[in-house]
Structure 1
């Protein structure tokens, strides 16, 4: 795998973080529950376990699990 397929992008100025899988936008997450639901809809039903697995998820800009504006 050439890098983690799931990217949680930096928090936006209005709050929330874009979530992409292999470059495809899944949605704007405001909390971990949103990310888990996006991953479930994308066919990854065990998304909660993946959030802290660096092989699966890269958290860009800001701290992991933080969704408020920078």
Structure 2
């Protein structure tokens, strides 16, 4: 089963698109942005999920890095 949260590869201008169950949540520039998107989606303890592969898939680039590709 695929992780419900995907943090996509860094964009050419910086930031990473975040999708939750296939729906675009926004463009994150930091882990705090991701946590806020997840909080808005109903996951109040989202910071604890960022390194759990069954919840979050980091696609392209290194996890927790948001600099331009």
Normalised by the size of structure 2, how large is the TM-score?
Answer: 0.98
Partner residue, 1:54: 53
Q: How many angstroms does 1:54 deviate by?
A: 0.2
CA deviation vs aligned residue, 1:8-32 (integer Å, no higher than 9, x gap): 0000000000000111000000000
Q: How many angstroms does 1:3 deviate by?
A: 1.1
The runs of at least 4 consecutive aligned structure 1 residues that moved more than 2 Å come to: none
CA deviation vs aligned residue, 1:21-61 (integer Å, no higher than 9, x gap): 11100000000000000000000001100000000000000
SS in 2 for 1:14: coil
Partner residue, 1:65: 64
Partner residue, 2:7: 8
Partner Cα distance (2:32, 2:6) in 1:
15
How many residue pairs get matched?
69
Gaps of 5+ in 2: none
Q: Over the residues paired in the alignment, what is the CA RMSD in angstroms?
A: 0.4
SS in 2 for 1:20: strand
Partner Cα distance (2:21, 2:46) in 1:
15
